[in-house]
Structure 1
Amino acid sequence: MRILSITFRLFLLLIGLQISVQVYADNTDNGQQTTAAPQVNASRELSKMQIILDKIKGQVSGSTNDASLSQLNDMAQQLSENADTLGQSLIPERQKVEAQLAVLGAAPAPGSGVRETADVTNQRRSLEAKKTELDNQIKQADSLKNGSLNLSAQILNLRRDQLKTQLALNSGSILSSAFWQPLYNSNQFDREKITNFGAELLNTVTLSWAPEWRAGTLCWLLAAVLVMVLGRRYMEEFLAWVSINKLPEGRLRRSFLATAVALTTLLAIVLSFNFLAHAFTRIDEVNSDVEDYVTRLVYLSISCGLIAGLGRAFLSTRRPSWRLANISNEVAQAMKPFPTIIASLVFIFQALESFNYSVGTSVNTTVFGNGLTALLIGIFCVVIVLRIKRTRRRMKNEDNTPPARSTLAALIEFALFVTGLVILLSLMIGYVSFGRFVSYETVWVGILFSSFYLLSHLAGDSSEAIFSTSNACGRRVQSSLNIQERYLTQFSSLLAAVLKSVLVLLLVFGLFNGTITSSSPADMLQKALAFWGGKGLEKLNIVPSQVVNAIIMLIASICVLRRVRRWLDDEFLPKTAMDKGMRVSVVTLFSNVGYVLVVLMTLSVMGVQWNKLAWIVSALSVGIGFGLQEIVKNFISGLILLTERPVKVGDLVGIGGYEGDIRRINVRATEIQLSDKSTVIVPNSQLISQNVRNATMGNAQGVVTIPMTFPLDIDPVKVKEILLSVYSENERILENSAPSVSFKDLSSQGISLSVTGNVATQRLISSVKSELLFEILVRLRDEGIALSSPQTMVIEQRSSAGAADPVEILSADRQG
């Protein structure tokens, strides 16, 4: 590459020397050899120049090195000079030919009767052919000159773009003399371009100040001043009056006014610049390059208006009590000039960068502008932090303790200080592109996070005010929807969460898809729409619009499914012959199948094709193999319980030492309510795999059995009659199966009897048994019949004269 470049440059130098020598020879021999042919073959030289230009274009398209591009730019400029020299050398020759043609005069008309000799006709024809050839060569030389200049401008644009993208490019330290060279030794091409573009700007101003346009220009200039000075002020006052008199009391007033201050400042600045631009560029004769430059300035005013507006809203020096951030008045006053200064710096140097782009200045001038911008922004980053610290220190010395800083505020100050040092260090060691990138990204991140701070407060405060019953809006919403206050609070929290989530997404989108130098609102909107359509997410097969549609589909389907389930449970199924347990099973099974269908429909709306769900099945199978066995087993067991119904809702079951009523059969587990109203969660698989006692299956009757032990000296017949009479008199003992008394055992302990009776269900056993025991105890006590008492062992120790050993007497007494 380097050898080829040197060869090109030597070849161009030889061409230039040859053309220069020929021009000098033509000038010296002009008076002596008026008809001599030029020694340079112009056609051959122009062909060689065209070949060289094509080769330079080919190298430019494949070159990414700044040094190579710089060499190619020098070669293109030298080629332009040589083409211009060659074209200028052909002009005198063309003038000679034109003079000879003028001497010969025009050819006589066919019908004039005048005839000229053949030598004159041939000479005129030869001179005309020569003139045509010279005209074509001069046009070709001009075309080569313009093509070389255009190529040089394109190379400069490529180098400028590389300065923005190649952050690791070392373009020289700002402490070197080469960096400051554009101030005292500018490039000749730069001077010409700047002079020409300056003349176009001056011509634009002159046209707008012409007598026929002067009145309109004055009106637009006056409108710009009025909007910037009076319009912004009165609009802020009006919005402050609205926040005080029309908005409900609370935090919404502060967040609304802060947002209004930022928007009014932005609107005033943008409108003022639009009026100024219209004042000078509304005339048709204005140059297109000037119009493009002014348009870029108008777009630039949006970013500068955001910086100034957000700074004023954040500091709120005019209304300290309305300030959102926890900043003391002294600190706010100390920071007051910085937003305006930074906005002005960004506008001035971005306007300079746009000027360089429009003019096509050299890379050295562009590097100088970028470095100066980064230098001033880095200095201000450090100065802002130092001024805040000095203000706080002065407040402490004056016994005026400043409010405690939050951790976030301390981190922001630290990050800003470190960022400023990084910018200054990168400029000192020569990485101007990196310093420019960090400085502009710092401003862009500040704009995004400040906007997010204001809008998030506005979203949360607005949601709270809309659904708060302490104001008329919340009461109107409550009365119109006829809902409880707690639901309004839930709606408020949900709306605030949704709005803040949207703001977070916009913040992330702005951080990764925008910059302060290339992101106008139209560009950001276009990128957002493209992202909404799935651009940039093709590899992931994700389209945000389809995802949102799928979420809406999911929410709507769940609402419809719950409404249908409620209709089945409350209206339709109670009118059928199904028992309660069967109805609950049908509703649960319907819900499970419905949720599966809802998930499938959501995936379909999201754009997932059915033939591409193999990865989902594979993932599920792998997950099942590594840890979802129990979940799937419980799910399948739940489906079996709902279809086979070995147990159902309402059954009295016993499992694992627990006994209670089944209240609900879920997808994974079953809820069993015990007699003490506590609930036991039993996995569905245990109800399938273990022994379960279902006391109410098949409407089984309950048996009330009471075993009792009596002394040996009672009358068994009388006791039997008492027990049977107590059972028969209880109205919940069934008559179709009469109570009975069984003789169970006869031993030294007494007589064991057991009385048995049937009740309608198992659930009545406990309560009926309690009633019977009370009644039996009363009857036996009235009849003087006692139950047997347990044996007692009494050990006595007796002492007698001359007897040292104790005597143990064992007595067993029975008490009646």
Structure 2
Amino acid sequence: MAEQREKIDALAKQVDGIEAKMDADTVDDVGLVEIRSQLEAIDKALLSNGVAFRPRLGEINSRITQLGPPPVEGQPPEPELVSNERRALTNEKAEINVVLGKAEDLSVRVNGLLNKISSLRRDLFTSMLTKRYQISEAFNGEVGTTVRSEWGRLYYAFSSWMRFVVQFKFRAVLLATFFALLAAAALQFGGRRIFGRLLTPDPGIEEPSYLSRLSVSFWSTLLPTLAMGVFLAGTLGLYTYFNVLRGDIGLLINGIFTIVFVAFFINRLSNAALAPKTPNWRLIPIQTRAARLLVWLLTATAAVVGLDSFMGVVSETLGSPLSITIVKSLLASLTVGILLLLIGLVRPLAGEDGRHRPWPAAIRYLLYVIGGITIVSALLGYVSLAQFVSKQVVVTGALLATAYIGFLSARAVAEEGTFAQTAVGRWLARRYNLDETSLDQLGLGASILIYVLVIIVFLPFILFQWGFQPGDLAGWLSKLATGFQVGTFSFAPFAIITGLIVFVVGYFITRWFQGWLDGSVMARGKVDAGVRNSIRTVVGYAGIALAALIGISAAGINLSSLALVAGGLSLGIGFGLQNVVSNFVSGLILLAERPFKAGDWVVAGAVSGTVKKISVRATEIETFQRQTVILPNSDLINAAVGNWTHRNKLGRVEIPIHVAYGSDAKRVHEILLEIARGHPLVLRNPEPFVWFSAFAESSLNFEVRLFLADINNGLSVQNDIRFAILEAFRKEGIEIPYPRRELNLKSAVPPSWPLDDEKAEAEHHERLRARAEAAAQPAPKRRRKPDPA
């Protein structure tokens, strides 16, 4: 208790010092961010101190409940030992409440200071942008003299530092530069080794795909820029480590490196997107001459902004007069505004008549507005606003353009069938024998990964450009890691992500264990295939359930809260939801086992058609008559379901054919086999087969059996084969018989008249013969109804 009280008192003193510091100096934005970080750490410490008392408070309340209420007047007194214990517990609880009250009051005070810091930072940002300078006072007669004096001081600072380096730090400078260059080269050449053709456009490809152009533009911008950043940051860091830089020279070198990095980044981005030397790889359909001009204008704009930033560092380091700073920023802002207007005046597009056309109206007017705002703001004296707009146009615009290219690449990768056409997709297909569906799923995963990488890489830089500090990002990440309250629910994004990662890892471990158990253990033990499948399925469900439980625990979700769900589910089943739950569980089984998937041709009882959708309650099947049938999932689980395209679309079709007795059976076999082999959709392996099936009552029966790569083409192939058979039989004179019946009529009663007359007897026999001939005539052909498609 005393220890916690001392901690809270120490935190209170720390808050007093921070508040006094805020009242003394509120101008530095970086300092305010540092103060906010300290206050957030104090708030966390207060929260942890409050949490530390919870177990003891629970014990005290539980013990007081066990002791019961004190006896009222008229009841026998309780033992003195019980009274003393209750009194001690009550006093301790009161002391804890006092400490918790002080911690709560201090937490409220800290939150008030945090809100005050946010207000101060907004005011600082607004005052910086709205501050107006008198331009006329800056352009006085002493400007030229002051500029020459400042240039001389800058030259003297660099020359003295160079003499110091040559005399005392020459080896250290060479060594630091060499290692920084080595790190950048390793990144650049290693990236070329990994990404290969994604860094350099191939001029030999006349019509590269849009995804290829996006990928080349993105990676040819990002990787060299990162290599340049590694070189510059490594050089600066190693110079500092070897004590090569003085305080003023370090700031100036940092400013120079900033110019180089910004100009290099803009130049790489404009060359990648506009591709002045390789028109077929150009993202924007503009003319080559305009592309070259735009690259120069964009690079010049970046150089001007970088130079303005460097001159600001020079003014701050050398203590230049305010008039010089205003003049430099004014000239840089006016130059950037003019360059933006020139970019808007470029006519890069080609019309149908061959004449040059300007930018679309929205882009053109946006450039005019931003350039006009920059120029007008600078001329009116709002130099800080003009300088801020110029910087955001160049740096933030370049970052957003690169990020947008990355987003377009991610979206293109996610399109169906696109990932399979990439080099990575083809390698995965060859290496792991993946089908199109698996490659599409990997493409979606790669798309999500690209989205996340683009956000992680570019979002911090964009936020820094708009006045945010590293401490802001650190505070946000801390909140994401520790979580925040939404009502009574504690939400921790990082914990949830950790839980998802744990579940994914457990899922893949389960799948690996299933494969190892099936392929290495049960296969060697000659276990029956059905038993192997059952064991594999049970292991899969158990592993996924275990991974889900561990993932939920890692996400910080209390498993005891799931008891309510289980209780409600049991109650629902008891009140007649057996069918609903059965269909729900059956749907989960169908989704997990995937005995059929969307697009498969299945036969379930009297229903035959294509699976359109599988949900947790029912499965939607579309018949070949375009009728949609909704089947409950339990029916598909409890009954036999035929799947023509389960593993693949390979299937066999049979075509029966009858020929008349007296036909050459071997010739018929040759004709049928030749026709089956000649169809382009019939597979050669397994090869077609003709079966002489039976000697029928009035025909010789054959059956053509052939295999198709896609069983969905079965009807059209059978149609083609039957037409070909009919034509071939007609040429060969092979008869396709029809059913014949012979009818013999016998009179059971002899004629009643005398047959002595020869003429009457002859007429009687003639009538009998005519009746027999009529009965032997074939029945007229009945038109057969066509088979339904």
For Structure 1 versus Structure 2, the TM-score category normalised by the shorter chain is: 0.3 to 0.5
Q: What TM-score results when the alignment is normalised by the length of structure 1? A: 0.43
Select the structure of larger CA radius of gyration.
Answer: 1
Q: What TM-score results when the alignment is normalised by the length of structure 2? A: 0.45
